[in-house]
Amino acid sequence: MKNRPYVFITGATKGIGRALAQRFALEGAHLALSARTPKDLEALKAGLLKGGATGEVHLFPADLSQKAEAVALAAAVSAAFPHLDVLVNNAGLFRPGQVLGEAEEAMEQMLAVNLLAPYYLSRGLLPRMRRGSHLFNVASVAGREGYVGKGSYGVSKAALLSLTNTLRHELREAGVRVTAVLPGPTWSASWEGADLPAQRLLQASEVAASIWQAWAMPPNAVIEEIVIRPQLGDL
């Protein structure tokens, strides 16, 4: 384990973000955690401390669909930590639908959270990241392949993948590693009640473990993409 990294995770109270916060907390990291609901953040912090977290845990409620809040969040995290070792842009918005049938505002809503928030947070926080630090952008296999029913969501995640690839080239000489994470269908509360065998969905802890393993690589090596699916394939 590297010496107590400073880690910032968005979308930290559910799914992949929560599992990742738990993993880094167990390893002694100092954490900055963001989500929309203060009550959920407080519950997460209590659980982390009860589970043995020994690093600092800072909470930052924010609505990342709003540019002003994303920009303010970057400034607040910068003020809380002397530098940043790991930035995980994990917060996301999914509204099912097809491009020709979804609500007209769907594209703007999903671009705001899935692309523009990571853009503003990266611009605000990457200057605080040193050689050997790591940026993770959680995209989706839907951003690589078009799926019926994922309309603007897939488009927004494809744009995030492009942003990630661009940042990787821009930051290479600075020694900042950049990884795109492309999970397949992953269990969350939205899947409750679905008549699916457990093996058809990834567990959030499995995706979090893959991110942890990429971070734990020596700083002269980078896993540029993590594509992780259920062994039986996408739904």
Active site residues per annotation: 153
Task: For residue 13, give Cα distances in angstroms to 32, 60, 82, 182.
Answer: 12, 11, 24, 19
Query: What is the rounded distance in angstroms from the CA atom of residue 234 to the CA atom of residue 154?
Result: 14
Query: What is the rounded distance in angstroms from the CA atom of residue 99 to the CA atom of residue 106?
Result: 9
**8 A C-beta contact, residue 81 and residue 65:** no
Secondary structure class of 64 (helix, strand, coil): coil
- Name the DSSP class of 197: -
Query: What is the rounded distance in angstroms from the CA atom of residue 46 to the CA atom of residue 40?
Result: 10
CA-nearest of 40, 30, 85 to 61 is: 40
∠ Cα 229 232 135 (to 5°):
5
> Which residues, in sequence order, are bridge partners of residue 183?
228
Q: Hunting for tokens 């058809």 — which residue is that?
A: 200
Q: Sheet holding 84-89: strands in order across?
A: 57-61, 30-35, 6-10, 84-89, 129-138, 177-183, 225-228
